[in-house]
Amino acid sequence: MIETGFIGLGIMGSRMAANLIDAGHKLTVYNRSPEPARALEKAGAKRAGTPAEAARGRQVVVTVLSDPAAVRALALGPDGLLEGMDEGALWVDCSTVDPACSMELAALATAHGVRFIDAPVAGSKIPAEKGQLLFLVGGETDDLLEAAPLFEVMGKATVHAGPVGAGSALKLCNNLLLGAAMLGFAEALAAGDAFGLDPEVVLDALSGSPAAAPVLALKTGKIRNGDWSPEFPLKHMHKDLHLLMETAYEAGLPLPLAAALKERFGDARAAGFGNEDFCAVMKVARPGPSHRNIC
Protein backbone atom coordinates (compact mmCIF):
# COMPACT_ATOMS: atom_id res chain seq x y z
CA MET A 1 0.00 0.00 0.00
CA ILE A 2 1.17 3.52 -0.82
CA GLU A 3 2.07 5.96 1.98
CA THR A 4 0.07 8.98 0.79
CA GLY A 5 -0.36 12.59 1.80
CA PHE A 6 -3.78 13.92 0.85
CA ILE A 7 -4.46 17.66 0.80
CA GLY A 8 -7.91 19.13 0.10
CA LEU A 9 -10.98 17.48 1.58
CA GLY A 10 -13.91 19.22 -0.06
CA ILE A 11 -16.84 17.58 -1.84
CA MET A 12 -14.51 15.54 -4.05
CA GLY A 13 -11.37 15.14 -1.98
CA SER A 14 -13.08 13.89 1.17
CA ARG A 15 -14.74 11.05 -0.75
CA MET A 16 -11.63 10.18 -2.74
CA ALA A 17 -9.58 10.02 0.46
CA ALA A 18 -12.21 7.89 2.21
CA ASN A 19 -12.05 5.34 -0.59
CA LEU A 20 -8.26 5.12 -0.26
CA ILE A 21 -8.56 4.57 3.49
CA ASP A 22 -11.18 1.87 2.94
CA ALA A 23 -8.81 0.15 0.49
CA GLY A 24 -6.05 0.05 3.10
CA HIS A 25 -3.81 2.91 1.99
CA LYS A 26 -2.12 4.84 4.82
CA LEU A 27 -3.16 8.49 4.54
CA THR A 28 -1.96 11.64 6.23
CA VAL A 29 -4.57 14.32 5.50
CA TYR A 30 -4.73 18.11 5.64
CA ASN A 31 -7.55 20.56 5.00
CA ARG A 32 -7.69 24.30 5.66
CA SER A 33 -10.90 23.86 7.67
CA PRO A 34 -10.26 21.04 10.15
CA GLU A 35 -13.66 19.32 10.32
CA PRO A 36 -13.27 17.09 7.21
CA ALA A 37 -9.81 16.02 8.38
CA ARG A 38 -11.19 15.10 11.80
CA ALA A 39 -13.83 12.92 10.16
CA LEU A 40 -11.19 11.04 8.18
CA GLU A 41 -9.01 10.75 11.28
CA LYS A 42 -11.82 8.78 12.87
CA ALA A 43 -11.82 6.52 9.78
CA GLY A 44 -8.11 5.77 10.21
CA ALA A 45 -6.16 8.63 8.65
CA LYS A 46 -3.47 10.64 10.39
CA ARG A 47 -4.35 14.35 10.60
CA ALA A 48 -1.64 16.90 9.82
CA GLY A 49 -1.47 20.50 11.01
CA THR A 50 0.15 21.89 7.84
CA PRO A 51 0.53 20.85 4.17
CA ALA A 52 4.25 20.28 4.81
CA GLU A 53 3.43 17.86 7.63
CA ALA A 54 0.95 16.00 5.43
CA ALA A 55 3.62 15.61 2.73
CA ARG A 56 6.64 14.75 4.86
CA GLY A 57 7.80 11.16 4.44
CA ARG A 58 5.05 10.34 1.96
CA GLN A 59 5.79 8.48 -1.27
CA VAL A 60 2.92 10.25 -3.05
CA VAL A 61 1.08 13.49 -2.24
CA VAL A 62 -2.38 14.09 -3.77
CA THR A 63 -3.93 17.54 -3.92
CA VAL A 64 -7.60 18.22 -4.70
CA LEU A 65 -8.06 21.98 -4.45
CA SER A 66 -10.49 24.52 -5.82
CA ASP A 67 -8.42 26.73 -8.12
CA PRO A 68 -4.86 27.78 -9.07
CA ALA A 69 -4.61 30.27 -6.21
CA ALA A 70 -5.50 27.58 -3.65
CA VAL A 71 -2.92 25.16 -5.08
CA ARG A 72 -0.17 27.78 -5.02
CA ALA A 73 -1.10 28.84 -1.48
CA LEU A 74 -0.80 25.31 -0.10
CA ALA A 75 2.21 24.31 -2.19
CA LEU A 76 4.56 27.21 -1.49
CA GLY A 77 6.07 28.79 1.59
CA PRO A 78 7.65 27.38 4.76
CA ASP A 79 4.60 25.25 5.61
CA GLY A 80 3.75 24.35 2.01
CA LEU A 81 3.64 20.82 0.70
CA LEU A 82 6.81 21.25 -1.41
CA GLU A 83 8.74 22.15 1.74
CA GLY A 84 7.68 18.86 3.29
CA MET A 85 8.02 16.50 0.33
CA ASP A 86 10.99 14.15 0.20
CA GLU A 87 13.30 14.31 -2.78
CA GLY A 88 12.04 12.00 -5.52
CA ALA A 89 8.48 11.84 -4.16
CA LEU A 90 5.52 12.23 -6.53
CA TRP A 91 3.00 15.08 -6.43
CA VAL A 92 -0.34 14.20 -8.05
CA ASP A 93 -2.48 17.30 -8.54
CA CYS A 94 -6.14 16.44 -9.09
CA SER A 95 -7.25 20.08 -8.94
CA THR A 96 -8.89 21.65 -11.98
CA VAL A 97 -6.44 24.34 -13.08
CA ASP A 98 -5.26 25.67 -16.43
CA PRO A 99 -2.41 23.96 -18.33
CA ALA A 100 -0.06 26.91 -17.76
CA CYS A 101 -0.58 26.53 -14.00
CA SER A 102 0.19 22.79 -14.18
CA MET A 103 3.42 23.48 -16.06
CA GLU A 104 4.35 26.13 -13.51
CA LEU A 105 3.70 23.72 -10.65
CA ALA A 106 5.77 21.04 -12.38
CA ALA A 107 8.69 23.45 -12.69
CA LEU A 108 8.43 24.35 -9.00
CA ALA A 109 8.31 20.66 -8.12
CA THR A 110 11.41 19.93 -10.21
CA ALA A 111 13.26 22.75 -8.43
CA HIS A 112 12.50 20.95 -5.15
CA GLY A 113 13.59 17.55 -6.50
CA VAL A 114 9.98 16.36 -6.71
CA ARG A 115 8.12 14.71 -9.60
CA PHE A 116 4.72 16.01 -10.76
CA ILE A 117 1.68 14.90 -12.76
CA ASP A 118 -1.58 16.73 -13.33
CA ALA A 119 -4.54 14.39 -12.89
CA PRO A 120 -7.86 16.26 -12.75
CA VAL A 121 -10.99 14.15 -12.65
CA ALA A 122 -14.19 13.98 -14.64
CA GLY A 123 -17.12 13.25 -12.33
CA SER A 124 -18.77 14.84 -9.33
CA LYS A 125 -19.89 13.95 -5.81
CA ILE A 126 -21.60 10.59 -6.44
CA PRO A 127 -18.92 9.15 -8.77
CA ALA A 128 -16.28 10.29 -6.25
CA GLU A 129 -18.18 8.48 -3.49
CA LYS A 130 -18.48 5.30 -5.57
CA GLY A 131 -14.89 5.34 -6.86
CA GLN A 132 -16.11 5.89 -10.42
CA LEU A 133 -14.11 8.96 -11.46
CA LEU A 134 -12.25 9.34 -14.75
CA PHE A 135 -8.65 10.53 -14.31
CA LEU A 136 -7.24 12.75 -17.06
CA VAL A 137 -3.48 12.66 -16.65
CA GLY A 138 -0.59 14.73 -17.97
CA GLY A 139 2.99 13.67 -17.22
CA GLU A 140 5.55 10.89 -17.56
CA THR A 141 4.29 7.33 -18.06
CA ASP A 142 6.38 5.95 -15.19
CA ASP A 143 4.91 8.53 -12.80
CA LEU A 144 1.38 7.67 -13.91
CA LEU A 145 2.10 3.98 -13.32
CA GLU A 146 3.30 4.73 -9.80
CA ALA A 147 0.04 6.54 -9.02
CA ALA A 148 -2.11 3.95 -10.82
CA PRO A 149 -2.96 1.90 -7.68
CA LEU A 150 -4.49 5.05 -6.19
CA PHE A 151 -6.37 5.88 -9.41
CA GLU A 152 -7.75 2.33 -9.53
CA VAL A 153 -9.32 2.77 -6.09
CA MET A 154 -10.71 6.24 -6.73
CA GLY A 155 -11.75 5.86 -10.36
CA LYS A 156 -13.06 3.64 -13.11
CA ALA A 157 -10.55 4.59 -15.82
CA THR A 158 -7.47 6.68 -16.55
CA VAL A 159 -6.61 8.57 -19.74
CA HIS A 160 -2.98 9.50 -20.33
CA ALA A 161 -3.52 12.70 -22.28
CA GLY A 162 0.15 13.55 -22.85
CA PRO A 163 2.91 15.54 -21.10
CA VAL A 164 2.44 17.76 -18.07
CA GLY A 165 -0.47 20.16 -18.67
CA ALA A 166 -2.31 17.82 -21.03
CA GLY A 167 -4.55 16.45 -18.29
CA SER A 168 -5.57 19.95 -17.27
CA ALA A 169 -6.19 20.91 -20.90
CA LEU A 170 -8.40 17.87 -21.45
CA LYS A 171 -10.36 18.62 -18.27
CA LEU A 172 -11.17 22.13 -19.52
CA CYS A 173 -12.38 20.65 -22.82
CA ASN A 174 -14.56 18.20 -20.86
CA ASN A 175 -16.12 20.97 -18.80
CA LEU A 176 -16.90 22.99 -21.91
CA LEU A 177 -19.11 20.08 -23.01
CA LEU A 178 -20.57 19.74 -19.52
CA GLY A 179 -21.46 23.42 -19.23
CA ALA A 180 -22.94 23.50 -22.72
CA ALA A 181 -25.10 20.46 -21.99
CA MET A 182 -26.48 21.94 -18.77
CA LEU A 183 -27.18 25.41 -20.13
CA GLY A 184 -28.75 23.96 -23.27
CA PHE A 185 -31.00 21.84 -21.06
CA ALA A 186 -31.91 24.87 -18.97
CA GLU A 187 -32.87 26.91 -22.01
CA ALA A 188 -34.84 24.02 -23.54
CA LEU A 189 -36.85 23.68 -20.32
CA ALA A 190 -37.39 27.44 -20.25
CA ALA A 191 -38.58 27.35 -23.87
CA GLY A 192 -41.05 24.57 -23.09
CA ASP A 193 -42.40 26.60 -20.18
CA ALA A 194 -42.74 29.71 -22.35
CA PHE A 195 -44.52 27.69 -25.04
CA GLY A 196 -47.11 26.48 -22.52
CA LEU A 197 -45.98 22.84 -22.30
CA ASP A 198 -46.41 20.70 -19.19
CA PRO A 199 -43.02 21.05 -17.41
CA GLU A 200 -43.07 17.42 -16.21
CA VAL A 201 -43.58 16.19 -19.78
CA VAL A 202 -40.76 18.40 -21.05
CA LEU A 203 -38.38 17.38 -18.27
CA ASP A 204 -38.93 13.64 -18.80
CA ALA A 205 -38.93 13.82 -22.60
CA LEU A 206 -35.77 15.89 -22.91
CA SER A 207 -33.73 14.08 -20.26
CA GLY A 208 -34.44 10.79 -22.07
CA SER A 209 -33.93 12.18 -25.55
CA PRO A 210 -31.15 10.82 -27.80
CA ALA A 211 -29.88 14.40 -27.94
CA ALA A 212 -29.40 14.60 -24.17
CA ALA A 213 -25.99 14.17 -22.53
CA PRO A 214 -26.01 11.32 -19.95
CA VAL A 215 -25.36 13.78 -17.11
CA LEU A 216 -28.74 15.39 -17.66
CA ALA A 217 -30.63 12.26 -16.65
CA LEU A 218 -28.65 12.32 -13.39
CA LYS A 219 -29.79 15.88 -12.71
CA THR A 220 -33.48 15.42 -13.49
CA GLY A 221 -34.43 14.53 -9.92
CA LYS A 222 -32.57 17.53 -8.49
CA ILE A 223 -34.24 19.88 -10.97
CA ARG A 224 -37.71 18.44 -10.38
CA ASN A 225 -37.34 18.75 -6.61
CA GLY A 226 -35.63 22.12 -6.61
CA ASP A 227 -32.66 20.47 -4.88
CA TRP A 228 -29.70 22.75 -5.53
CA SER A 229 -27.35 21.13 -2.97
CA PRO A 230 -23.91 21.06 -4.59
CA GLU A 231 -22.46 17.98 -6.23
CA PHE A 232 -20.39 20.22 -8.52
CA PRO A 233 -20.69 23.85 -7.36
CA LEU A 234 -21.76 26.38 -9.96
CA LYS A 235 -18.90 28.73 -9.01
CA HIS A 236 -16.44 26.02 -10.02
CA MET A 237 -18.04 25.66 -13.44
CA HIS A 238 -17.75 29.42 -13.88
CA LYS A 239 -14.09 29.25 -12.80
CA ASP A 240 -13.36 26.40 -15.22
CA LEU A 241 -14.93 28.28 -18.13
CA HIS A 242 -12.82 31.31 -17.20
CA LEU A 243 -9.65 29.17 -17.25
CA LEU A 244 -10.74 27.69 -20.58
CA MET A 245 -11.16 31.14 -22.10
CA GLU A 246 -7.77 32.31 -20.79
CA THR A 247 -6.09 29.21 -22.26
CA ALA A 248 -7.91 29.64 -25.57
CA TYR A 249 -6.81 33.28 -25.70
CA GLU A 250 -3.19 32.22 -25.23
CA ALA A 251 -3.63 29.73 -28.09
CA GLY A 252 -5.21 32.35 -30.35
CA LEU A 253 -8.46 30.38 -30.53
CA PRO A 254 -11.89 32.04 -30.55
CA LEU A 255 -14.52 30.06 -28.62
CA PRO A 256 -17.75 32.03 -28.97
CA LEU A 257 -19.97 29.35 -27.40
CA ALA A 258 -17.64 29.00 -24.42
CA ALA A 259 -17.62 32.78 -24.01
CA ALA A 260 -21.43 32.85 -23.89
CA LEU A 261 -21.48 29.97 -21.40
CA LYS A 262 -19.02 31.74 -19.14
CA GLU A 263 -21.17 34.87 -19.06
CA ARG A 264 -24.37 32.92 -18.33
CA PHE A 265 -22.83 30.95 -15.49
CA GLY A 266 -21.39 34.26 -14.32
CA ASP A 267 -24.92 35.69 -14.26
CA ALA A 268 -26.02 32.80 -12.05
CA ARG A 269 -23.05 33.25 -9.75
CA ALA A 270 -23.68 36.99 -9.47
CA ALA A 271 -27.31 36.21 -8.62
CA GLY A 272 -26.12 34.32 -5.54
CA PHE A 273 -26.18 30.73 -6.82
CA GLY A 274 -22.42 30.11 -6.84
CA ASN A 275 -22.42 27.66 -3.92
CA GLU A 276 -25.33 25.66 -5.34
CA ASP A 277 -25.06 22.83 -7.84
CA PHE A 278 -24.19 23.93 -11.35
CA CYS A 279 -27.65 22.84 -12.52
CA ALA A 280 -28.90 25.94 -10.66
CA VAL A 281 -28.12 27.82 -13.87
CA MET A 282 -31.78 26.88 -14.48
CA LYS A 283 -32.70 29.80 -12.25
CA VAL A 284 -31.40 32.39 -14.69
CA ALA A 285 -32.62 30.64 -17.85
CA ARG A 286 -36.14 31.94 -17.26
CA PRO A 287 -36.21 34.36 -14.31
CA GLY A 288 -39.38 35.70 -12.77
CA PRO A 289 -42.55 34.06 -11.45
CA SER A 290 -42.59 31.38 -14.14
CA HIS A 291 -39.23 30.09 -12.87
CA ARG A 292 -41.11 27.78 -10.52
CA ASN A 293 -42.61 25.96 -13.52
CA ILE A 294 -39.30 24.61 -14.79
CA CYS A 295 -37.87 23.46 -11.47
Distance CA 93, CA 115 (A): 11
Crossing angle (nearest 10°) for helices 166-194 and 256-268:
70
- Find, among 186, 195, 245, 240, the residue nearest to 216 by Cα: 186
Considering the candidates 125, 171, 239, 262, report the single residue annotated as catalytic.
Answer: 171
CB 93 within 8 A of CB 198: no
Q: How far from 18 is each of 79, 108, 121, 123, 161, CA to CA, in Å?
A: 24, 29, 16, 16, 26
Secondary element (H or E) of residue 215: helix 214-224
CB 162 within 8 A of CB 114: no
CB 217 within 8 A of CB 208: yes
Crossing angle (nearest 10°) for helices 99-111 and 166-194:
150
Indicate if 171 belongs to the active site: yes
**Which residues have a catalytic role annotated?**
171
